[in-house]
Amino acid sequence: MPKSDVIRLRHMLDATRKAVEFSKDRQRADLDTDELLALGLVRLIEVIGEAASKIESDIHDRYPDIPWRAIIGARNRFIHGYDDIDLDIVWSIIANDLPPLVGQLERAIESEENT
């Protein structure tokens, strides 16, 4: 595996952790009133998806528990549909999808670094 793939996995992990931390003790309604929070979370989701899209497909195949297509699809939707972002979807990703992604990415990085 190219060293750059581990770096990108780490970028994904860093952005995922930041998004989870930024949303700690927050509610969905906060996205409507705190534009900086909403913009920051959207940007972090974009970073996670961009890094995922640059990771070699054999890594995707080794870690099928990571929802690669959904991650990359969210990035594409937010980048190309920047003028029509549904904050309910953003919050769903933040609240439901990112917390388990932290552990999935940690395990993938540990496995890749030990091989």
Query: What distance in Å separates the CA atoms of residue 84 and residue 107, rounded to the nearest whole number?
Result: 34
Over residues 71-105, the pLDDT tens digits come to 999 999 999 998 999 999 999 999 999 999 999 99
- Quick one: pLDDT at residue 110? 97
- Per the prediction, the chain carries an average pLDDT of 96
Taking residues 47-74, what's their average pLDDT?
97
Q: Tell me if the pTM is above 0.85.
A: yes
If one counts every other C-beta atom within 10 angstroms of the C-beta of residue 59, the result is 19
- Find the mean pLDDT for residues 50-57: 97
Q: How many residues does the chain have?
A: 115
For the segment 7-35, what is each residue's pLDDT rounded down to a tens digit? 999 999 999 999 999 999 999 999 999 99
Q: Cβ distance 77 to 93 under 8 Å?
A: no
Given its phi and psi angles, is residue 39 left (phi above 0), alpha (psi -120 to 50 degrees) or beta? alpha
